[in-house]
Amino acid sequence: MELGLHVYSKNNIKKNKDFLLKTAFEFSKDEKQQQVEKVLLSEIISSGTKNQTKIYKFVDSSEELSDIVGLIALSASKIAIHKTSVFPCAQLDLLFINHKYRKDTYTELEDSTLGEELMQTAISLVLSLANQIGIRYITLIPLGHEEKLVNFYKKFNFDYIEKGSDFMYLNLRNVK
């Protein structure tokens, strides 16, 4: 497998909206979770058509896997640290893996999951931007504060901004 990254333009999102919502992905088998995933994806697509977020799709360039394997969405934002200082940041609006591939690890990805690979790519994209413009943090909101998701983000050194906050952040100065 060889992951290829493609950014959707505003017009491409509009053209592919139905495909992305109805055909492009296998969603969770759990009906409640599937509904949550579809709502989140719909919201991100809507934001993408308004240029409020950039959506990147991941495909297998080697064509071993024929589907879109995942999406990430990034937007510009700001973060208040301890309610005293405000810093520009990139917000990870969505990290979505096609349900077919969520649990698999791939030797081609150094025995990583697609989620881990997409997260690394999101961090790399933001780091390259941070070298050009003033971005110091990446923020995100873990869906439902699920322990499994929080632990996944903590593997990448994300932490809650402060106790009781919805937001987690990664200080880019701590990324090697």
Mean pLDDT across 163-172: 89
46 pLDDT band (50/70/90 cuts)? very high
Q: Give 153-166 pLDDT, tens digit per residue.
A: 999 999 998 888 88
Does 65 score more than 70 pLDDT?
no
Question: For residues 45 and 96, is the Cβ–Cβ distance under 8 A?
Answer: no
Say what the pLDDT of residue 52 is: 93
Q: Give 22-45 pLDDT, tens digit per residue.
A: 888 889 899 998 999 999 999 999
Mean pLDDT across 4-20: 90
Q: 4-30 in b/e burial notation, b at 16+ Cβ within 10 A?
A: eeeebeeebbeebeeebeeeebebeee
Q: How far apart are the first and last CA of the chain?
A: 26
Q: Give 89-137 pLDDT, tens digit per residue.
A: 999 999 999 888 887 777 777 778 888 989 999 999 999 998 888 899 9
Does 171 score more than 80 pLDDT?
yes
Domain tally for the chain? 1
CA dihedral for 174, 101, 11, 40, sign (positive or negative): negative
| Residue 55 structural domain | 3-174
Structure tokens at 55: 């959506």
Reported pTM: 0.89
Gap between the Cα atoms of 98 and 29, Å rounded: 12
Mean pLDDT across 40-59: 93
Say which amino acid occupies 138. Answer: I
Q: Residue 98 is part of a domain; what is its CATH number?
A: 3.40.630.30
Gap between the Cα atoms of 48 and 108, Å rounded: 31
Structure tokens at 155: 């593997």
